[in-house]
Amino acid sequence: MSLALEEYIPEKIWLCRYPVKFFGMEIDARMTVIRLADGKLMLHSPCAIDDDLRGALAALGSVAYIVAPGTFHYLHVASAQAAFPAAETYICPGIERKRPELEFDWLLGDIAPPAWAGELDQVLVRGNRWIWEVAFFNRETRTLILVDLVENVTDATPHVDWQLKLWWKVVFHMWNTPKPAPEYQLGWSDRKAAGASLQRILEWDFERVILAHGDLIEADARRVVEKAWERPLTATS
Ligand SMILES: [Fe+2]
C-alpha cells in the first residue's frame, strides 16, 4: 500500500506518515516535503519512495534535495536517491560514521547552504552522546521542523505499539507530555553546549512544530518546546 502525501500548508509543505520500528516497537514517523521559492522540493527525513509516491512528488515539483536531518533519520535516504537520482543529499554529521556506505553530497551545519539560504534557517544541536540533529525553521510559514528533538505521542496518536506506550508512560514519562526522544534524555553529555544550541532555535519566531513522532504542535508552540527542553536548557540559565 502506498503512503499518502498530505498537503499541510497550501502550496508550501506536505507531510507523509510512515511506519518505523523503535527497538522492535512500532510507531509512525513523518516525512516533510518543502517547496522552495524556486519551485524545487526538499525531502526532509524521507520515507521509502515507491512508484506511486515518486509520481505524487514529481507532480509537485522537481525533487532537488534529500535531507537526513538526524543520526536516527537516514534509513530511507538510499530509496529517495534511487527515486530521484539528480537530487543532492545533505546529512546530519554523525551519519557518515554510522553508515559509511551511504552516498552524500554535503554535511549539514549551522549555516544554511545557498540552496535554501534565506528561506530555511538551521541549527546543529550539539551536546549529546547518542544522537544529533539539525533543526530547521521555515521563515515564510513560521514552522519549526524537527525529527527527534521533540516527540509528542498522546492518546490521539495513531499506530502506537502497546509496548512503546508502556515505555513512554512508565519509564520516560513522555506520554501526553512532549519531550525529546529517549536517546536524548539518556545522553545529554554537555548540557551547556546543548542548551546553547536549543536557545538558538528558540530565537526563531515559530508558531507551529512539525516533528517525526506523534502529533504536530500547533498551539502555544514556543511554550511547549521550552517545557520539553527544560532539562538541557537549565544548564545555561
Ligand atoms: Fe526518530
The pLDDT value given to residue 22: 84
Gap from CA of 145 to ligand 1 centroid (Å): 13
Rounded CA gap, 84 and 65, in Å? 9
Q: And the C-alpha cell for 176?
A: 501526553
Matching residue, cell 515507491? 50
Q: What is the pLDDT of residues 216-230, one digit of tens each?
A: 999 999 999 999 999
Taking ligand 1, which is a single-atom ion, which protein residues have CB atoms under 5 Å away? 72, 148, 212
Give bridge partners of residue 6 from the DSSP assignment.
15
Amino acid at 137: F
Do residues 93 and 108 touch, judged by C-beta distance below 8 A? yes
Gap from CA of 149 to ligand 1 centroid (Å): 9
Q: What are phi and psi of 187, to 5 degrees?
A: -125, 10
Gap from CA of 48 to ligand 1 centroid (Å): 15
The pLDDT value given to residue 133: 98
Gap from CA of 29 to ligand 1 centroid (Å): 7
pLDDT(237) > 50: no
Q: What are phi and psi of 205, to 5 degrees?
A: -95, 65
